[in-house]
Structure 1
């Protein structure tokens, strides 16, 4: 499920969905990666413990600058600082030796808008 939205999708129902999806993939392949997405408007940490119990799982995280007016006046350096400070600190909180891999997408370079 790509980008489920909180609170419309409950965390419990999302975990059930991913558990069933993981089981279905594993019936066909022990080596394929299973991608799980955090809920939009949810905590970036909400699936870390859950995903950590599985083999070959990747957490997909998205950061959007397009839909927040605070980015409208950002310069190139402001965008770089945002990634280096805010996004990097969240990623560091998620990445841990026993945790899942993480794929991060940042969308919406706003300089010159």
Structure 2
């Protein structure tokens, strides 16, 4: 449970840094919200769910690692895209952003299925 709480704190700090950064590059506002909602809030909610359902095992930890990779890849690609737009450079990274979002979605579904499997009727 401490691991989930630490992840929540890390994503809170990253979200705040993203908020400061986007004030300089205004098109990057989604970096701030991605880290706060998909990072901090998700891991905070997982702390509460874990306490009630004890769903975290080695398989779920792998899903959460997959999720964290997807989240950080998404944010990195959003930062790159935002900087490219602001500086009027030419680069197409939409495919990488799409892949990162796909990783996020798949891992989120796997975690939700793991939680569902631990709920007793």
Task: Give the TM-score normalised by the residue count of structure 1.
Answer: 0.30
Task: Give the TM-score normalised by the residue count of structure 2.
Answer: 0.28
Pick the structure with more strand per residue.
1
